[in-house]
């Protein structure tokens, strides 16, 4: 793999790691591990931990995929490996 | 018009629509048969993926499960949606770039080995066949309950419909039918939810209603559910977890990576024109899935409250739940209860002989509840409620008009048929392409392969129908097995194929076999060898259920996946690197440029 190929792959992996970090924090973090603590906070009529587990994490998943698609498009352009 | 007539009308109309699409979208080439000619718009593919993904279990059973489990039910919600983030970032775009018809073909080419692709074919067929049994039985249940035909007749009709668009249209026919089926199922799911949310909270959007106020009180809906169920001895709705936090965590991981590794979902992303489209399409798929998945928890909590309110008048009035006249008289029960008692999904036994229905958790250890139960003279919970009722009878419980009930029937059928068709395509393409064309008859012409694909599809439908009519004893555990298989074998194998250039065939094969082996071992120890009752061998492991860290068998795919990764990595370190051209192949798969239309040829 040439230099720009390596740099491209590194940029991709960095983005994936960042998205996965958010993915993990909202579902496993807020939705499971820290749900009991978050439940003492109220969001509308929802206990917050319960909201993350049964609503919020899913909204954030959707957003994450579109953010990923958009940023990947930019990385592809930058390294000139995008599709015509 | 009677309920029966309306149901026939609505279900008949949807079936006519599916057949119309079948006639319009016949497949004339292998490319159209396997991947719809890679010409599907990403948004439409997202819809088709939604229908492909959301099965009879999602549509009929999930809300009921959450309703019983409360907060812990979130593992299904997060597990069955979070996998799409993994799919979008780790698998779909790269496999689309690779540009071949099937998942085993990627495994075979990437690991330069017919052995690896054979293992992948076995995993794929086992996962898909086990999954399909549940769909066929779902079709039978929906038909017999709503259309008044026998279970068997229902399965025959379902087979005939799928036959028409799957055999002649292949992926092309399936894709456009799934788009239509998505529309039917999502309308069928959300309309009753909107009505019920209006009735209980005054808010027409169920996702907001779940966080809203219970009509006529100053309590939130969730607060009211929490209060009622804890007073009746159940676990607090918003806090009860599944067994333990660790188990819930591991179970969620299993469902997520299992989702990302299920072949019938992955191949949907071979139908879009570009790599960029594969990424976007995963996003759209999740949008369409999330519409149902964020509605389901609202349906779950509201149905739970509705059920308690039907049986105990003190739920609405806020009075004493244990007062004698709070429980309704059996003779005055609403009509929907009578209808569902016939199906056996709802059962009443008057244990204390007072002619009234008492419904509570009679296994509670809470001393306050036990004291109240004794004071009230209750002798055990008198109602048995099958979880599926929460969706199926929901419109009746909420006294909605007949056409809504009919719509739910059409939606349940759409969900089951669309998933069955996707699975059938994954199975038949593995047979006609990976086994026949790649291994046994390499000289098969394009026309011959197309014909073989259609015959394989027809054969698979017959087998699926047979299994639906005669479900093997293990039918109940099947969906969990499909996820365990995909999580412990297919997902790690694909990931390493893309993200670890040095992963070789020895590592990949050893990893798949060990991951799969240990998962099956754990499942079989609990449920019997190949699910045959009486062959459980928990005794070998000390005889305790969930002996490994308290993890239940359904959640064990995660452990299998970890074993797979570790074994593959270690084996690849002590065996030769993959050949140079394979490493170039991996580099090539990683960049989007140069993506071509999907085809069936091999690189070596």
Write the residue in A33, A54, A64 that is nearest to B297 by C-beta. A54
Please tell me the total number of residues recorded for chain A in this structure: 84
Mutation target among A69, A78, A79, A82 for the B interface, most CBs of B within 10 A: A69
Q: How many Cβ atoms are within 10 Å of A66's Cβ, its own excluded?
A: 17
* Total CB pairs under 8 A between chain A and B: 133
| Of A17-21, B298-302, B519-523, B524-528, minimum mean pLDDT range | B524-528
Mutation target among A19, A27, A68 for the B interface, most CBs of B within 10 A: A27
The stretch B49-65 carries a mean pLDDT of 88
d(CA A84, CA B596): 11
- Contact flag B208-A58 (C-beta cutoff 8 Å): no
Please tell me if residue B280 touches chain A, with a CB cutoff of 8 Å.
yes
The stretch B192-209 carries a mean pLDDT of 91
Write the residue in B220, B280, B591 that is nearest to A45 by C-beta. B220
Which residues contact residue B598 at a Cβ distance below 8 angstroms, ignoring those fewer than 6 apart?
B31, B34, B35, B38, B96, B99, B100, B101, B270
**Please, which residues 161-200 of chain B have a Cβ atom closer than 8 Å to chain A?**
none
Mutation target among B66, B229, B237, B283 for the A interface, most CBs of A within 10 A: B283
Tens of pLDDT, residues B282-294: 999 999 999 999 9
CA distance to B94, B515, B534, B603, B604, per residue, from B502 (Å): 17, 20, 44, 18, 18
d(CA B61, CA B68): 11
Write the residue in B66, B283, B593 that is nearest to A66 by C-beta. B283
The stretch B24-41 carries a mean pLDDT of 83
| Of B115-124, B174-183, B399-408, B534-543, minimum mean pLDDT range | B534-543
Please tell me if residue A57 touches chain B, with a CB cutoff of 8 Å.
yes
Q: What is the pLDDT of residue B472?
A: 63
Write the residue in B78, B279, B290 that is nearest to A68 by C-beta. B279
Residue B131: phi, psi to the nearest 5? -65, -40
Q: Is-contact B382 B357, C-beta < 8 A?
A: yes
Provide the ipTM: 0.95
Please tell me if residue A44 touches chain B, with a CB cutoff of 8 Å.
yes
Q: What is the pLDDT of residue B138?
A: 79
Write the residue in A44, A47, A55 that is nearest to B297 by C-beta. A55
The pTM of the full predicted model, rounded to 2 decimals, is 0.91
Which residues contact residue B131 at a Cβ distance below 8 angstroms, ignoring those fewer than 6 apart?
B55, B262, B264, B419, B423, B478, B479, B482
More confident residue, B409 or B319: B409
Write the residue in B71, B84, B249 that is nearest to A61 by C-beta. B84
Give the pairing of strands B383-385 and A46-47: unpaired
Residue B111: phi, psi to the nearest 5? -105, 20
Which residues contact residue B532 at a Cβ distance below 8 angstroms, ignoring those fewer than 6 apart?
B473, B474
Please tell me if residue A73 touches chain B, with a CB cutoff of 8 Å.
yes
Highest mean pLDDT among A19-33, B301-315, B409-423: A19-33
The three-state secondary structure class of B383 is strand
Q: What is the pLDDT of residue B440?
A: 84
- Contact flag B294-A58 (C-beta cutoff 8 Å): yes
Domain regions of chain B by residue span? 3-304+398-590, 306-391
Nearest CA in chain B to A56: B294
- Contact flag B297-A35 (C-beta cutoff 8 Å): no
The three-state secondary structure class of B216 is coil
Whether B496 has a pLDDT exceeding 90, the answer reads: yes
The stretch B194-221 carries a mean pLDDT of 88
Q: What is the pLDDT of residue B318?
A: 78
Closest-CA distance, A14 to chain B, in angstroms, reads 12
Q: Is-contact B99 B599, C-beta < 8 A?
A: yes
Q: Is-contact B292 B54, C-beta < 8 A?
A: yes
Q: pLDDT grade, residue A16 (50/70/90)?
A: very high
- Contact flag B238-A50 (C-beta cutoff 8 Å): yes
Please tell me if residue A83 touches chain B, with a CB cutoff of 8 Å.
yes
Strand partners, B312: B327
Nearest CA in chain A to B77: A54
Q: Is-contact B103 B450, C-beta < 8 A?
A: no
Please tell me if residue A75 touches chain B, with a CB cutoff of 8 Å.
no
- Contact flag B239-A39 (C-beta cutoff 8 Å): yes
Q: What is the DSSP string of B80-94?
A: HHHHHHHIIIIIHHH
Closest-CA distance, A72 to chain B, in angstroms, reads 9
d(CA A73, CA B91): 16
Nearest CA in chain B to A74: B276
**Residue B566: burial class (beta carbons within 10 Å; 0-12, 13-18, 19+):** middle
The CATH number of domain B3-304+398-590, selected from 1.20.1250.20, 2.160.10.10, 1.20.1730.10, 1.20.120.1750: 1.20.1730.10
Please tell me if residue A40 touches chain B, with a CB cutoff of 8 Å.
no
**One-letter-per-residue 3-state SS of chain A:** CCHHHHHHHHHHHHHHHHHHHHHHHHHHHHHHHCHHHHCCCEECCEEHHHHHHHHHHHHHHHHHHHHHHHHHHHHHHHCCCCCC
The stretch B514-539 carries a mean pLDDT of 79
More confident residue, B187 or B134: B187
d(CA B560, CA B520): 9
What is the overall mean pLDDT for chain B?
A: 86
Whether B376 has a pLDDT exceeding 80, the answer reads: yes
Whether B474 has a pLDDT exceeding 80, the answer reads: no
- Contact flag A43-B211 (C-beta cutoff 8 Å): yes
Mutation target among B88, B207, B254 for the A interface, most CBs of A within 10 A: B88
User: How remote is the C-alpha of B201 from its chain's centroid?
Assistant: 29
- Where in B440-486 does DSSP place strands (E)? none
Q: pLDDT grade, residue B530 (50/70/90)?
A: low
- Contact flag A8-B595 (C-beta cutoff 8 Å): no
**Please, which residues 526-565 of chain B have a Cβ atom closer than 8 Å to chain A?**
none
Q: What is the pLDDT of residue B604?
A: 45
Please tell me if residue A39 touches chain B, with a CB cutoff of 8 Å.
yes
Highest mean pLDDT among A7-11, B234-238, B242-246: A7-11
Q: What is the pLDDT of residue B341?
A: 82
Contacts of A5 in chain B (CB under 8 A): 587, 591
Contacts of A20 in chain B (CB under 8 A): 85, 89
Contacts of B283 in chain A (CB under 8 A): 62, 65-66, 69
Write the residue in B74, B252, B279 that is nearest to A72 by C-beta. B279
Of B41, B44, B35, B22, nearest to B183 (Cα)? B44
């Amino acid at each position: 793999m040439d230099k720009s190929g390596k740099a491209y792959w590194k940029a991709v992996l960095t983005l994936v790691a960042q998205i996965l970090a958010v993915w993990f924090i909202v579902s496993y973090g807020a939705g499971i591990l820290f749900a009991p603590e978050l439940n003492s906070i109220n969001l509308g009529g929802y206990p917050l931990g319960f909201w993350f587990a049964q609503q919020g994490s899913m909204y954030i998943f959707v957003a994450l995929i579109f953010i990923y698609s958009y940023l990947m498009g930019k990385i592809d352009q930058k390294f000139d490996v995008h599709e015509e | 018009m009677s309920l029966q007539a309306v149901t026939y009308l609505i279900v008949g109309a949807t079936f006519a629509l599916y057949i119309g699409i079948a006639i319009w979208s016949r497949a004339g080439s292998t490319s159209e048969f396997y991947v719809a000619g890679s010409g599907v718009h990403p948004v439409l593919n997202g819809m088709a993926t939604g229908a492909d993904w959301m099965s009879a279990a999602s549509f009929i059973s999930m809300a009921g499960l959450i309703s019983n489990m409360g907060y812990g039910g979130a593992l299904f919600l997060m597990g069955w949606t979070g996998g799409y983030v993994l799919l979008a970032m780790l698998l779909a775009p790269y496999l689309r770039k690779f540009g071949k018809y099937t998942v085993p073909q990627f495994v075979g080419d990437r690991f330069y080995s017919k052995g690896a692709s054979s293992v992948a074919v076995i995993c794929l067929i086992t996962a898909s066949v086990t999954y399909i049994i549940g769909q066929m039985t779902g079709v039978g249940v929906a038909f017999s309950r709503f259309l008044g035909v026998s279970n068997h007749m229902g399965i025959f009709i379902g087979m005939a419909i799928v036959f028409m668009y799957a055999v002649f249209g292949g992926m092309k026919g399936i894709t456009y039918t799934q788009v239509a089926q998505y529309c039917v199922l999502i309308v069928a799911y959300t309309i009753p939810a909107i009505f019920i949310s209006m009735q209980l909270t005054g808010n027409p959007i169920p996702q907001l209603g779940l966080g809203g106020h219970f009509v006529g009180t100053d309590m939130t809906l969730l607060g009211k559910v929490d209060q009622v169920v804890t007073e009746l001895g159940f676990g607090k709705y918003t806090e009860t977890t599944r067994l333990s936090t660790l188990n819930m965590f591991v179970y969620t991981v299993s469902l997520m990576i299992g989702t990302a590794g299920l072949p019938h979902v992955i191949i949907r992303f071979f139908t879009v024109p570009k790599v960029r489209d594969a990424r976007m399409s995963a996003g759209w798929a999740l949008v369409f899935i999330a519409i149902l998945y964020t509605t389901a928890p609202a349906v779950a909590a509201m149905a739970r409250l509705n059920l308690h309110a039907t049986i105990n008048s003190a739920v609405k009035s806020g009075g004493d739940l244990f007062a004698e006249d709070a429980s309704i008289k059996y003779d005055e029960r609403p009509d929907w209860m009578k209808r569902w008692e016939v199906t056996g999904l709802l059962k009443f036994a008057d244990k204390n002989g007072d002619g009234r229905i008492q419904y509570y958790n009679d296994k509670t250890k809470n001393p306050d509840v036990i004291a109240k139960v004794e004071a009230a003279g209750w002798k055990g919970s008198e109602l048995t409620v099958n979880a599926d009722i929460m969706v199926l009878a929901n419109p009746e419980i909420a006294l909605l008009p007949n056409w809504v009930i009919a719509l739910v029937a059409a939606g349940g059928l759409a969900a089951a048929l669309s998933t069955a068709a996707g699975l059938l395509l994954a199975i038949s393409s593995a047979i006609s392409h990976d086994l026949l064309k790649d291994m046994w008859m390499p000289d098969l012409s394009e026309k011959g392969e197309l014909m073989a694909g259609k015959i394989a599809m027809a054969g698979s439908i017959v087998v699926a129908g047979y299994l639906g009519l005669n479900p093997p004893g293990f039918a109940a555990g099947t969906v969990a097995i499909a996820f365990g298989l995909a999580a412990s074998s297919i997902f790690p194998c694909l990931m390493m194929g893309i993200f670890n250039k040095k992963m070789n065939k020895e590592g990949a094969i050893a990893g798949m076999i060990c991951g799969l082996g240990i998962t099956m071992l754990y499942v079989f120890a609990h449920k019997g060898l190949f699910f045959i009752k009486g062959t459980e061998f928990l005794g070998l492991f000390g005889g305790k259920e969930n002996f490994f860290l308290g993890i239940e068998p359904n959640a064990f795919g995660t452990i299998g996946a970890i074993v797979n990764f570790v074994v593959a990595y270690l084996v690849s370190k002590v065996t030769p690197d993959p050949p140079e051209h394979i490493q170039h192949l991996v580099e090539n798969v990683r960049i989007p440029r140069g993506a071509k239309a999907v085809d069936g040829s091999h690189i070596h």
